[in-house]
Amino acid sequence: MIEINTAFTYMDKDTELFKVVNVEMKDTLESYVTVATQKAINQKEYFTGPLGNDVFQFSPMPWVSYTHISHTNSGKKDNATPLFDWGKFFERDDKWILPFSVQVHHSFVDGIHIGKLADSLQSYLNRF
């Protein structure tokens, strides 16, 4: 089995500073959230180490809604770290909208798999 690591940003409620928290992926979203939450709360450092190409980065921004987001790009051809962002959901035309952004390097990920991710996420959200 391939080990998948994730890095996500977490805001310390006391200091309002962000931490980068590294967590191994779990079999279910629920178990991942449980482990990630505990690790974020217990982690004292704000950055625990370098990120690599075997890490998926998640950066939730539940305070704002947006229609576009961009990240800086180092220009390094071997930078394959996928970046996932989502913002504050809102209602428009009797539909709930969740801003969601994926940034990946086309040399490593093709569009069909991004489409499958979007379809899976939509199916998951439709349950609520």
**pLDDT the model gives residue 1:** 47
Spatial separation of the C-alpha atoms in residues 51 and 84, rounded to whole Å = 14
Mean pLDDT by runs of 10 across the 128 residues of the chain is: 68 83 83 88 78 72 84 69 86 90 80 90 87
| Residue 110 neighbours by CB under 8 Å, 6+ apart | none
Q: Quick one: DSSP state of residue 128?
A: -
Q: What is the CATH number of the domain that holds 40?
A: 3.30.559.10
Residues in a beta bridge with 96: 91
Look at residues 81, 67, 74, 69 and name the one whose alpha carbon lies nearest to residue 20. 81
| pTM confidence score | 0.65
Give me the domain span that covers residue 111: 5-126
Could you identify the residue written with the tokens 């940034």?
A: 103
Q: DSSP alpha helices (H): ranges in 2-110?
A: 29-42
Q: How many domains does one find in the chain?
A: 1
SS3 content of the chain, % helix, strand, coil (to 5): 25, 30, 50
**pLDDT the model gives residue 120:** 92
